[in-house]
Structure 1
């Protein structure tokens, strides 16, 4: 395959299976590894969002009458997940168009992940 073929980069946006494919079989393809880093960065961003919400919501639930506020924070988490979906689609489109553009908000950080 060509070095900037969109197929491995596109596969990188499929969690776990795509990550393993790119990591094990396309490790020497810098274009695919770039999109692998972006995909893993997106996943870590969404997991961190959920963990932070869970901790804050649990602590707020311990305070009387603040449980309602902790439930309200869940809407913020849902907004981040919708944002994550939009960014995921944008990453897929970047891969299909053979572009190496970092994803917004965390893309520069994700480019420095020690993968491959």
Structure 2
């Protein structure tokens, strides 16, 4: 991947991590350009947002601040790791889950 490709896709890659709507906006805008750097980060962000909502639904049933705080800390670290990769122009895959998200959403950006 060239530096120019990374430079062009960096803004949308960062936007994709901000909210789920940001991910959808980045996806729609990237549909025309098909930037591989942006597509990589869109797949990571989409996977994180969907997993957060799915697990968050079940975590909400617990009446424990410790469980809730641990859940949010875990996802904040993963999102920070993803944003850090987007800002620095690297293809950092989210630990443990990243390769799964890349495989699951492989059709995005192709």
- Which structure has more helix as a fraction of its residues? 2
Could you tell me which residue of structure 1 aligns to residue 15 of structure 2? 11
Identify the residue that residue 100 of structure 1 maps to in structure 2: 91
Pairwise CA distance, 1:71: 1.8
The answer to whether structure 1 residue 53 and structure 2 residue 59 are counterparts is yes
* TM-score, scaled relative to structure 1: 0.73
**How far apart are the structure 2 equivalents of 1:43 and 1:13?**
8
> Aligned partners of 1:25, 1:4: CA distance in 2, in Å?
16
Question: Match of 2:29?
Answer: 25
Ranges in structure 2 where 5+ consecutive residues have no aligned partner: none
TM-score computed with the length of structure 2 as normaliser: 0.77
1:60 is matched with which residue? none
CA contact (8 A) 1:49 1:77 kept: no
How many Å separate the matches in 1 of 2:11 and 2:57?
32
Rg larger for:
1
**1:33-57: per-residue Cα shift (whole Å, max 9, x none)?**
1101111111122112122334xx4
Which consecutive segments of 4 or more residues in structure 1 shift more than 6 A? none
How many pairs are equivalent?
A: 100
